[in-house]
């Protein structure tokens, strides 16, 4: 697993053009067979006060509550935002295409 994640380079392709190779700061390689397992290990210790549903390379915070309890969800979103920033990840509000 370590050899899969360490010293890994990546680049971007737009049309027929490729960027230079670079080292990612964090996250998990996408589009690989081991990526989903790595992602689940990566976020295993992520804790929140509302239920967190994990599936392959995706996680969703989900809670049904009264309007008066919205602060609980806001706190969890704040924790999730902090955690993703610390781990060089990004929260997408909409599913990327």
Q: Tokens 């990327």 sit at which residue?
A: 96
**Range(s) of the domain holding residue 33:** 2-86
Tell me if 95 is assigned to some domain.
no
Tell me if 13 is assigned to some domain.
yes
pTM over 0.85: no
Which letter, b or e, does each residue of 72-93 get, where b requires 16 or more Cβ atoms within 10 Å of its Cβ?
ebeebeebbeebbeeeebeeee
Tell me if 62 is assigned to some domain.
yes
Tell me if 94 is assigned to some domain.
no
Report the domain count for the chain: 1
Tell me if 21 is assigned to some domain.
yes
Cβ atoms of 75 and 63 within 8 Å: the answer is no
Tell me if 97 is assigned to some domain.
no
Task: Locate 69 and state its tokens.
Answer: 């309890």
- Render each residue's pLDDT in the chain as its tens digit; 97 residues: 677 777 788 888 999 999 999 887 777 777 778 777 777 777 777 776 666 666 555 666 666 667 777 787 788 788 888 888 887 777 777 766 6
Phi, psi of 83 (to 5 degrees): -60, -45
Tell me if 91 is assigned to some domain.
no
Tell me if 17 is assigned to some domain.
yes
- 3 vs 36: CA distance, rounded Å: 16
């Amino acid at each position: 697993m370590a050899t899969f994640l360490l010293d890994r380079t990546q680049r971007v392709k737009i049309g027929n053009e490729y960027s230079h190779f670079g080292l990612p700061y964090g996250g998990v390689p996408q589009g690989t067979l081991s990526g989903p397992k790595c992602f689940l290990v990566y976020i295993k210790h992520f804790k929140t006060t509302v239920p967190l549903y994990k599936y392959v390379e995706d996680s969703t915070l989900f809670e049904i509550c009264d309007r008066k309890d919205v602060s609980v969800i806001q706190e969890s979103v704040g924790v999730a935002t902090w955690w993703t920033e610390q781990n060089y990840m990004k929260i997408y509000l909409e599913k990327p295409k």
